[in-house]
Amino acid sequence: MSENPTGPGGNGPAHTADPVQEPSGVEDLPDGTGQEAAKAAQPNVASSLLNAVLEGNSAVVTFLAIVTAIVIGGLLIAFSSPTVLHAWSHLFSAPGAAFSQAWDVAASAFSAMFEGAIFNPHTVAAAFHGGSIAAIFNPLSETAVNATPLILSGLAVALAFRAGLFNIGATGQFIGGAFIAGWIGFAVHMPMILHVVVAVIGGFVGGSITGGFVGYMKARTGAHEVIVTIMLNYVMEFLLLFLLGLAVFRAPGLPNPVSPPVASNATLPHLAGANLRINAGFLVALAAAVAVTWLLNRTTVGFELRTVGANPNAARAAGMSPERTWVVVMLICGGLAGLAGASVILGTDFALTPQIYGTYGIDAITVALLGRAKPGGVVLAALLYGSLNAGGVTMQGLTQIPVDITTVIQALIVLFVAAPPLVREIFRLRPRRAGEEGQLLAKGWSS
Amino acid sequence: MKRLLWLSVLVLGAGALVAPLAASSSSATTSRTAPVHSTTTKAPQAGKFLACMVTDTGGIDDRSFNASSWQGVQEAESATISGKYLQSTSESNYVPNINQFISEKCGIIVTVGFLMGNDTASAAKKNPGQKFAIVDYSYSPAIKNIDALVFNTVQDGFLGGYLAAGMSKTHKVATFGGLKLPTVTIYMDGFWDGVQYYNRQHPKLTPTKVLGWSEVTQNGSFTGDFTNQTKGEQLTATFISEGADIVFPVAGNVGLGAAAAVKSADNSGGNVNMEWVDTDGCVSAPQYCKYFITSVTKGIQAAVKNSIVTTAAGQFKGGNYIGTLANGGVALTPFHDFSSKVPTTLKNELAKIKAGIESGKILTPTRSPV
Distance CA A194, CA B235 (A): 49
Assigned domain for A399 exists: no
Asked if A397 and B369 come within 8 Å (Cβ–Cβ), the reply is: no
CATH code (residue B181): 3.40.50.2300
Check whether residue B138 and residue B192 sit in a common domain: no
Check whether residue B59 and residue B119 sit in a common domain: yes
Report the 10 Å Cβ neighbour count for A80. Answer: 15
B115 touches chain A (CB under 8 A): yes
Give SS3 for B111: strand
Strands in B292-298's sheet, in edge-to-edge order, are B209-211, B172-177, B246-250, B273-278, B292-298, B330-332
Assigned domain for A269 exists: yes
B102 touches chain A (CB under 8 A): no
Assigned domain for A95 exists: no
Could you give the number of structural domains in chain B? 2
Check whether residue B181 and residue B121 sit in a common domain: no
Distance CA A441, CA A177 (A): 26
Residues of A in contact with B41 (CB under 8 A): 81-83, 400-401
Residues of A in contact with B96 (CB under 8 A): 142, 390, 393
Q: How far is B146 from chain A (nearest CA, A)?
A: 17
Higher pLDDT, A84 or B313: B313
Distance CA A326, CA B187 (A): 48
Distance CA A131, CA A415 (A): 42
Buried b (16+ CB within 10 A) or exposed e, B75-89: bbbeeebbbbbbbbb
Query: Last residue of some domain: B151, B185, B206?
Result: B151
A405 closest CA partner among A391, A418, A424: A391
ipTM, interface predicted TM-score of the complex: 0.76
Higher pLDDT, A9 or B117: B117
Query: Last residue of some domain: B135, B151, B167?
Result: B151
| pLDDT at residue B43, as a whole number | 46
Assigned domain for A290 exists: yes
From the DSSP assignment, how many helices (H) and strands (E) are in chain A? 19, 0
C-alpha neighbours within 13 Å on the C-beta side of residue A126: 17
Report the 10 Å Cβ neighbour count for A155. Answer: 32
Assigned domain for A12 exists: no
Check whether residue B255 and residue B345 sit in a common domain: yes
Decide the pairing of beta strands B330-332 and B292-298: antiparallel
Give SS3 for B218: coil
Report the 10 Å Cβ neighbour count for B254. Answer: 29
| pLDDT at residue B6, as a whole number | 52
Check whether residue B180 and residue B290 sit in a common domain: yes
Domain hosting A173: range is 148-385
Check whether residue B348 and residue B206 sit in a common domain: yes
For residue B25, the surrounding DSSP H or E stretch is helix B2-26
Check whether residue B57 and residue B167 sit in a common domain: no
Assigned domain for B64 exists: yes
Which 8-state DSSP code applies to residue A267?
A: S
Assigned domain for A107 exists: no
Assigned domain for B253 exists: yes
- Best residue in A67, A75, A111, A279 for a mutation probing chain B (most B CBs within 10 Å): A111
| pLDDT at residue A6, as a whole number | 42
pLDDT bin (cut points 50, 70, 90) of residue B124 is very high
| pLDDT at residue A130, as a whole number | 79
| pLDDT at residue A32, as a whole number | 42
- Provide φ and ψ at B5, rounded to 5°: -60, -45
| pLDDT at residue B335, as a whole number | 94
Check whether residue B263 and residue B355 sit in a common domain: yes
Asked if B24 and A111 come within 8 Å (Cβ–Cβ), the reply is: yes
Check whether residue B134 and residue B225 sit in a common domain: no
C-alpha neighbours within 13 Å on the C-beta side of residue B97: 27
Distance CA A236, CA A194 (A): 28
> Which residues touch B99 (CB under 8 Å, ≥6 apart)?
B123
Which amino acid belongs to residue A365? I
- Best residue in B40, B61, B115 for a mutation probing chain A (most A CBs within 10 Å): B40
Assigned domain for A306 exists: yes
Distance CA A256, CA A278 (A): 29
Distance CA A114, CA A122 (A): 12
Average pLDDT over residues B159-173: 96
| Cα separations in angstroms, A202 against A199, A289, A340, A343, B286 | 5, 19, 12, 11, 51
Asked if B2 and A428 come within 8 Å (Cβ–Cβ), the reply is: yes
| pLDDT at residue A369, as a whole number | 87
Residues of A in contact with B219 (CB under 8 A): none
CB B132 within 8 A of CB B99: no
| pLDDT at residue A52, as a whole number | 61
Q: Tell me: cis bond preceding B141? Omega within 30 of 0 counts.
A: yes
A20 closest CA partner among A438, A435, A315: A315
Give SS3 for B110: strand
Average pLDDT over residues B62-78: 90
| pLDDT at residue A47, as a whole number | 66
Check whether residue B192 and residue B122 sit in a common domain: no
Check whether residue B165 and residue B128 sit in a common domain: no
Could you give the number of structural domains in chain A? 1
Residues of A in contact with B182 (CB under 8 A): 255-256
Assigned domain for A253 exists: yes
What are the CB-based long-range contacts (under 8 Å, 24+) for A120-124? Answer: A121/B24, A121/B25, A121/B28, A122/B28, A122/B32
CB A117 within 8 A of CB A391: yes
Query: What is the per-residue DSSP string for B285-343?
Result: SGGGGGGEEEEEEE-HHHHHHHHHHHHHTT----EEEEE-TTTTSEEEPP-GGGTTTS-
Asked if B118 and A241 come within 8 Å (Cβ–Cβ), the reply is: no
- Whether the predicted pLDDT of B35 surpasses 70: no
CB A180 within 8 A of CB A205: yes
List, for chain A, all residue ranges whose pLDDT scores fall below the cut of 50: 1-42, 437-447
Q: How far is A252 from chain B (nearest CA, A)?
A: 11
Domain hosting B181: range is 154-298+340-359
Query: Last residue of some domain: B118, B151, B184?
Result: B151
